Amino acid sequence: MEIPLLPFFQPKGVVIIGASTSPEKLGYGVVRNLIQSGYTGAIHLVAQKSGEVFGKQIHTSLQNIPDPVELAILIVPTQATPQTIEDCGKRGIKAAIIVSAGFREVGKEGAELEKKCVEVAQNYGVRLLGPNCIGAIDTHLPLDTTFLQPPMPEQGGIGFISHSGAFAAAIIDWARGQGFGFSRIVSLGNQADVNETDMLPMLASDDNTKVIVMYMESISNGRRFVQVAREVSKHKPIIALKVGRFEAGQKAAASHTGALAASDTAFDAAFAKAGVLRAETAEQMFDWARALENCPLPKGNRIGILTNAGGPGVIAADSLEHHGLVLAQLAGATLDALSAILPPAANTHNPVDMLASASPSHYAECLNILLQDEGVDGVMVILPPPPMFKAEEVARAVNEVIGKFEKPVVIALMGSTLVENASNEFQVARVPTYPFPERAASALAALSKRQKQLTKEHIENTKSQNKTSDASAVNPNDLMQDYNIPTAPIKLATNEAEAVAIANELGYPVVMKIASPDISHKSDVGGVMLNIQDDTALQSGYAQMMAKVSAAMPNAKIEGVQIQRQIAGGQEVIIGMVRDSQFGALMMFGSGGVEVEGLKDVAFCLGPLNQAEAEEMMRQTWVGKKLKGFRSIKPVDEEAVKDVLIKLSQLAAEHEEIEEVEINPLRVLVKGAVAVDVRIKFKGE
Amino acid sequence: MEIPLLPFFQPKGVVIIGASTSPEKLGYGVVRNLIQSGYTGAIHLVAQKSGEVFGKQIHTSLQNIPDPVELAILIVPTQATPQTIEDCGKRGIKAAIIVSAGFREVGKEGAELEKKCVEVAQNYGVRLLGPNCIGAIDTHLPLDTTFLQPPMPEQGGIGFISHSGAFAAAIIDWARGQGFGFSRIVSLGNQADVNETDMLPMLASDDNTKVIVMYMESISNGRRFVQVAREVSKHKPIIALKVGRFEAGQKAAASHTGALAASDTAFDAAFAKAGVLRAETAEQMFDWARALENCPLPKGNRIGILTNAGGPGVIAADSLEHHGLVLAQLAGATLDALSAILPPAANTHNPVDMLASASPSHYAECLNILLQDEGVDGVMVILPPPPMFKAEEVARAVNEVIGKFEKPVVIALMGSTLVENASNEFQVARVPTYPFPERAASALAALSKRQKQLTKEHIENTKSQNKTSDASAVNPNDLMQDYNIPTAPIKLATNEAEAVAIANELGYPVVMKIASPDISHKSDVGGVMLNIQDDTALQSGYAQMMAKVSAAMPNAKIEGVQIQRQIAGGQEVIIGMVRDSQFGALMMFGSGGVEVEGLKDVAFCLGPLNQAEAEEMMRQTWVGKKLKGFRSIKPVDEEAVKDVLIKLSQLAAEHEEIEEVEINPLRVLVKGAVAVDVRIKFKGE
């Protein structure tokens, strides 16, 4: 899969079709950028009208162009695009960037034209980027196929995949002001052919790319994305900004699980599974990327703070803890060493406050001492304009120390004009700076998360036991039994006498539930009665339930009642699955009962689950912790819950025809767990 | 209170004591800044050594200086400070800024010297700012008493109170780069005398100050702060960044309320009561301040988005919803008007995407159309570098439109070098810009929050009924009865026979609880038994409980058991109060039971509560909503809950000797509510 896409970034020869001599035309901008980028391969120009631009001849036919030529950039009228792709195919060109807009995004006609482009391209084995995109950039080769206003983005180690050309363009300009650069940038446009997942390996295999950032408006194929990203993220960090969170309305759901699993929950779960760090904002994505590009990863989450002022030190401490990091406890030797060089009024405990008088050598020496402490996994250096010294002198001194250690150091460089030279010093040394301690803390936290991802033990997915079971089985309990999920015996009674007989067979106390295909939330309509102790209670209960239910839902088809042995004691949890259209089975675990939607004490994970993932879901919820016992609440069988979670995820994997499953409650006993109520929704129901 | 502090900002004559001719000395920097600031009053210099600096004579005695002189800036050795203050007092100077450090912050000796300074100052009626501060700035007067590196901060409408001089200094420099300015800035230092609350009215009464920002590391007097800030915030917005959130360890608490009320919760509640907007980060504080300074407030929360690119529009829509704003539904006439001027492929629905070809006049006309729509309360304009036009041309066109409407417009100005001129245009027009849509959305949300604050109905606090009650009453139920909070009858039995007699008197079913001053969490040790139906059950239960409790806590003093009529049905909530050392009674409401600490479904509010506040607390929690009924859970008497909340807050206000009270559970019935278990912790217990 990798080789066919390489010509987008490393083509042997490029032809620009639709080159123009008019500076206001895109076909001029593309020629200008490609030439000015310093691309060393052959550059050919083609247009309907011959001429000359930037000292290069414009040919009128693709056939007149000498080999090698691997990449075509098309800035031709929309209608002419399919023919031009065909010409490229015939000429042996295997990669084409379609810059022009006017395809799917403008309506039905455009969509058909786009489809035609793809058909032609597939006939000739041509890969397409776009249409409606700004192309690709490789700052290291170098290569710039875009028409964006010069200069090219700075060189750097961040690979950037963007669903939006305008966003990419704005970021390129913004990054210039922030002092960071890129390795490869690709704008995907309409993704008629090549999509975000295709491009991941192209950035992963590029030695200059240290970290990959993705601006995503959608996903082409959820499961394939997870698979590819999971592989890539083992080697290179991926950060994603997924927008459109609030766009997708929630579907009407048949279960609590469905109601709680908003479409964005699936993205959270998918990114977690794929090892993708999800950023909340654009600024955060690049804050993280700069740290991941330039810093070694910390061994743990214990951070030292070095400052020349108390206030910013407190802000830093707050934000470190907010982001799940901890203030390092400094060793005695560290405290002594700091005391030896700092004035008596300084604070040698973390946050280390050297006071306003701190000199460049104070900064350097103290940083050296902190980084030597084995209890310090990384350091935030806070540098507001020092009253007595130049900030750039501090920067130079600090940079020398940073290079000597394999620990991350980030700088909160506070100010503007007074720290401008310092900012340049840090930039050259590739030490990431942030205008405030809060953002520096967030970056350190991203490093720590990345480290955790890499060290997390991935216990292999529990092997599927390849159970065969009747896919059309409509009795949920049978399906549970196929997967060894214990259920409470339950039987259908079609009249009162049958109900009494079944209750006596199962043994009191029993639970009675209305049996109707039309009633989803049974307790809402008086269709559930608990703790029935004897025949008399059952008989009067039966009559009551029928009256209530037919009053509440006069048109519901009533098949009778389900009688179930009541399982007493223990704790209750909910376990559910909804099948996401993009990512497949999304598992849920949490506090159950009728209050599940109100309490929202639930966790999600993309199936199939392994042991570690099931444990993590339990750890994330209060009810999961409560299983271990809390105050007067007795501990129950956590292992049994984990077991059911994993088994239900297997069931989901092997029964694609099931849209939603929900066990609510799963009653967890001192030994074992019983699925008391199970609901299944099949596809198309 | 205001008049004595005015000389810090508007002195008639200033003397700098400790002026220096050496550029590396603070006493030189202060002279330089005061002169360069353009301060038009008399400037006098005093030092031990006579001389001349900046063309001004240095006197050797305060006595030689002509009237008027209202403010002294002291840069004298620590030891000499009390005497110098005395000299000032004798000379009739009523305000002194103590720049020097070396006081309380360095230890016991310094603290004593600081105390002496205050004593001397009080003797002579001198108000002190500092010590260990950088002084005060008024950019409009103008006046600059600091030694910070020039230039002075830009003029603007933001008043800034800072507990940290270094933070203030860094912000002044950063603001310069961001293009915004200040009205008044004050650094408080050690706050030996003047504190953050004192300074609030000084900024509130200043016509040039449109919004007040506070960087707070602590609070001098919580209740006074709330009182003063609540008054100020009725007229001017206050934004606070309170740091040190994670510092204060939680005290061991006697109740769930105490355990859940982290010290930072009290700040949240205090800011809410005081009408102070609490910012999460420094950047956010100033993002909000710039919008509040320059924009009219929106009438509602319906926002229009105007963009020339889809991607940033989606980011904007996401973040608006994230911040509690909504995408405005555009009127038919608006859609028609937009269609008339935009190309067919443009999206006229909100977010309005004009496409990359959008010209300056497209921006202006579309913005005009959006602002005319009565369903649009404010607009975010997104401006990445326009491919075909200069961003500054767009800025000029847009600014003309903004001035014509009384609706807020903020700009997401994306990029750096390509939008620099546009940035200047917006700055001059006082239109706030943000580098990303997320931050622009947060600013719009701050405007909306401010609007809500101003329109919120403040129902007067329920009048206290001035109940007199025995402060030493140890029976919690008696105290509840004093405030008409219904309790379940409960009686102490010291042996089994008494227990049976009481149970028969109250009527079965009953609850039995161990009575021991040493046992706080009774259910943890088997000290609670519910649903006792008859004498036999009570007798066997009594024996069991005694055995369990003495096994679990062999040294606890057992007084017997409490027998209580069991109240069945309804719903359970918790209502509690902890007395915060800084802000007083902090009320809690939420999901009760033993799981309250795990579920954390609780809300806090500073007492005393009015109707609106009690309702808001209930609205913030799931259990509060559940009182209205949910699925099979029946609605219960919300009003009774609100009533207990307000009454308990009255009790707290009138019983300062009570540290914590907790009703858990309050059983809420279809009609009325009963405090089933009440715990009280008195001061010193």
Q: What is the pLDDT of residues A527-556, one digit of tens each?
A: 999 889 899 999 999 999 999 999 988 888
Confidence at residue A3, expressed as pLDDT on a 0 to 100 scale = 57
State whether the Cα torsion A357-A362-A364-A370 is positive or negative. negative
pLDDT at A462 over 50: no
Say which residue, A159 or A217, is predicted with more confidence: A159
Nearest CA distance, B15 vs chain A (angstrom):
23
What integer is the mean pLDDT of A615-632?
A: 91
Contact (CB<8Å) A599/B598? no
A440 contacts in chain B (CB < 8 Å): none
Nearest CA-CA distance, residue A318 and chain B, Å: 6
Please tell me which residue, B630 or B648, carries the higher pLDDT value: B648
Q: Do B176 and B184 touch, CB atoms closer than 8 A?
A: no
Confidence of residue B248 (pLDDT cuts 50, 70, 90): very low
**What is the residue-wise DSSP string for B594-648?**
TTHHHH--EEEEESSP-HHHHHHHHHHSHHHHHTT-BTTBPP--HHHHHHHHHHH
CB contacts, 8 Å: A626 with chain B: 595, 598
CB–CB of B435/B410 below 8 Å?
A: no
**Per residue in A477-500, pLDDT tens?**
888 988 999 998 888 999 999 999
Determine whether the interchain pair A384/B166 forms a contact, defined as Cβ–Cβ distance below 8 Å. Answer: yes
Residue to test with chain A: of B78, B163, B176, B314, most A Cβ within 10 A: B314
**Best to test chain B binding among A100, A161, A167 (most B CBs inside 10 Å):** A167
List chain A residues with CB under 8 Å of B217. 310-311, 314
Tokens representing residue B110 in the block: 């310094």
Query: Quick one: pLDDT at residue A317?
Result: 93
Instruction: Tell me what percent of the residues of chain A surpass a pLDDT of 90.
Output: 77
pLDDT of residue A633: 86
Contact B322 A246 (CB under 8 A): yes
pLDDT band (50, 70, 90) for residue A474: low
Kindly report, residue by residue over A366-393, the tens digit of the pLDDT: 999 999 999 999 999 999 999 889 999 9
pLDDT at residue B31 is higher than 90: yes
Tokens representing B375? 């369903």
- What is the ipTM metric for this complex? 0.86
Among B188, B394, B414, B520, pick the best mutation site for testing chain A contact (most A Cβ within 10 A).
Answer: B414
Please report which confidence band the pLDDT of residue B259 belongs to, taking 50, 70 and 90 as the band edges: low
Q: Which chain B residue is nearest to residue A29, measuring alpha carbons? A: B387
Select from A414, A521, A530, A664 the residue whose CB has the most chain B CBs within 10 Å, as the one to mutate to test that interface: A414
CB contact under 8 Å between B177 and A439, yes or no, is no
Mutate to test the interface with A, among B78, B154, B187, B243 (most CBs of A within 10 A): B243
- How close is the nearest chain A Cα to the Cα of B491, in Å? 24
Cross-chain Cβ contact A311/B281 below 8 Å: no
DSSP-assigned letter for residue B62: G
Sort out which chain B residues have CB atoms less than 8 A from A317's CB and list them.
246-247
| CB-based contact A162 B311, cutoff 8 Å | yes
CB pairs under 8 A between A and B: 236
Closest-CA residue in chain B for A386? B166
Per-residue pLDDT tens over the stretch A511-530:
999 999 888 778 888 899 98
Q: What is the mean pLDDT of residues A248-252?
A: 44
CA proximity to A631, closest of B600, B521, B545, B548 = B521
Q: Are the CB atoms for A182 and A151 separated by under 8 Å? A: no
pLDDT at A227: 94
Are the C-beta atoms of B612 and B458 separated by less than 8 Å?
yes
Nearest to A436 among B165, B283, B417 (CB): B283
pLDDT at B460: 36
Name the minimum distance, in Å, from the CA of B653 to any CA of chain A: 32
Residues of A in contact with B598 (CB under 8 A): 622, 625-626, 630
Chain A positions touching B384 (Cβ under 8 A) are 166-167, 169-170
Separation of alpha carbons A292 and A157, rounded Å: 10
pLDDT score recorded for residue B366: 98
DSSP state of A250: P
* Contact: A314, B243; criterion CB under 8 Å: yes
The confidence band for A473, taking pLDDT boundaries of 50, 70 and 90, is very low
List the helix and strand counts (H, then E) for chain A. Answer: 22, 30
| Chain A neighbors of B415, CB-CB under 8 A | 169-170, 173-174, 177
Q: Does residue A667 carry a pLDDT above 60? A: yes
Q: Which residue in chain A is spatially nearest to B322 when comparing CA positions?
A: A246
**Token pair for residue A348?**
């040698």
Question: In this complex, which of A166, A246, A281 lies closest to B321 when CB atoms are compared?
Answer: A246
pLDDT for B569:
84
Contact criterion met (CB < 8 Å) for B170 and A528: no
Side chain identity at residue A542, one-letter code: Y
- The amino acid present at A185, given as its one-letter code, is I
> What is the 3-class SS of B356-424, one letter each residue?
CCCCHHHHHHHHHHHHHCCCCCEEEEEECCCCCCCHHHHHHHHHHHHCCCCCCEEEEECCCHHHHHHHH
pLDDT given at position A251 = 45
Q: Which two tokens stand for residue B47?
A: 């030092």
> Which chain A residue has the Cα nearest residue B177?
A416
| Unique residue bearing structure tokens 């061994």 | A299
- Tokens 């394939």 belong to A224
Beta carbons within 10 angstroms of residue A55's beta carbon: 6
The answer to whether the CB atoms of A164 and B387 lie below 8 A apart is no
Residue A345: its pLDDT value, please? 86
Of the listed ranges A360-374, A417-431, B179-193, B595-609, the least confidently predicted one is B595-609
- pLDDT band for position A468 (50/70/90)? very low
Closest chain A C-alpha to B461 CA, distance in angstroms: 31
Q: Check: CB of residue B456 under 8 Å from CB of residue B643.
A: no
Among A284, A322, A416, A601, most B C-beta atoms within 10 A, so best to mutate, is: A416
Round to whole Å and give the CA distance between B20 and B24.
Answer: 9
- Tell me the C-alpha distance between B620 and A677, whole Å: 31
Residue A458: is its pLDDT beyond 70?
A: no
Residue A247 pLDDT: 59
Of how many residues is chain A composed? 685
Say yes or no for a CB contact (<8 Å) between B622 and A595: yes
The model's pLDDT over B633-666, given as tens digits with 9 standing for 90+, comes to 889 999 999 999 999 999 999 999 999 999 999 9
pLDDT band at B247; cut points 50, 70, 90 = low
pLDDT at B474: 58
User: In the Cβ-directed half-sphere of B575, how many Cα atoms lie within 13 Å?
Assistant: 31
* Per-residue model confidence (pLDDT) at position B459: 34
Residue B506: what are its φ and ψ, rounded to 5°? -75, -30
Q: In the predicted model, is pLDDT for residue B469 greater than 60?
A: no
Residue pointed to by tokens 């002084």: B135
| Helix A360-372 and helix A391-402, axial crossing angle in degrees, nearest 10 | 30
Say whether B526 sits in a helix, a strand or coil.
coil
Can you tell me the mean pLDDT for A612-621? Answer: 93
Measure CB to CB from residue B415 to each of A173, A322, A601 and give the nearest one.
Answer: A173
Q: Domains plus CATH for chain B? A: 3-209 (3.40.50.720), 296-455 (3.40.50.261), 489-565 (3.30.1490.20), 571-682 (3.30.470.20)
CA of B622: which chain A residue's CA is closest? A598
Residues of chain A contacting B169 with CB distance shorter than 8 Å: 384-385, 387, 415
Pairwise CA distance, residues A511 & A565, whole Å: 6
Query: What is the average per-residue pLDDT within B61-79?
Result: 94
Query: In 3-state terms, what secondary structure has residue A353?
Result: strand
Nearest CA in chain A to B353: A166
Residues of B with CB below 8 A from A356's CB? 166
Helices (H), A44-164: 81-91, 108-124
Check A164 against B243: CB less than 8 A apart.
Answer: no
Contact A173 B625 (CB under 8 A): no
Across all residues in chain A, what is the average pLDDT? 91
Q: Is the pLDDT of residue A50 over 70?
A: yes
Task: Locate the chain A residue with the closest alpha carbon to B103.
Answer: A345
More confident residue, A466 or B154: B154
The DSSP output letter for A358 is -
* Nearest chain B residue to A148, by CA: B387
Instruction: Flag if B166 and A356 touch (Cβ within 8 Å).
Output: yes
pLDDT of the residue at B466: 38
Whether A217 sits inside 8 A of B416 (CB atoms) is: no
Q: What is the pLDDT of residue A254?
A: 61
**Range of lowest pLDDT (A299-303, A394-398, A447-451, B22-26):** B22-26
For A219-240, what is each residue's pLDDT tens digit?
889 999 999 999 999 999 999 9
Chain B residues near residue A310 by CB distance under 8 angstroms: 164, 166, 217
A23-37, A591-605, B104-118, B543-557: range with lowest mean pLDDT: A591-605
Q: Which residue of B lies nearest to A598 if distances are taken between CA atoms? A: B622
Chain B positions in Cβ-Cβ contact with residue A633 (cut-off 8 Å): 594-595
User: Exposed, middle or buried: residue A320 (CB in 10 Å: 0-12, 13-18, 19+)?
Assistant: buried
What stretches of B416-534 show up as alpha helix (H) in DSSP? 420-428, 437-455, 476-482, 496-506
Specify the pLDDT at position B588.
94
Total Cβ atoms within 10 A of residue A509: 17
pLDDT at position A261 is: 67
A470 class by beta-carbon count within 10 Å (0-12 exposed, 13-18 middle, 19+ buried):
exposed
CB contact under 8 A, A164 and B310: yes
Residue B412: both structure tokens together: 């997401």
Distance of CA B455 to the CA centre of its chain: 18
pLDDT at B97 over 90: yes
Among A246-260, A618-632, B578-592, name the one with the lowest average pLDDT. A246-260
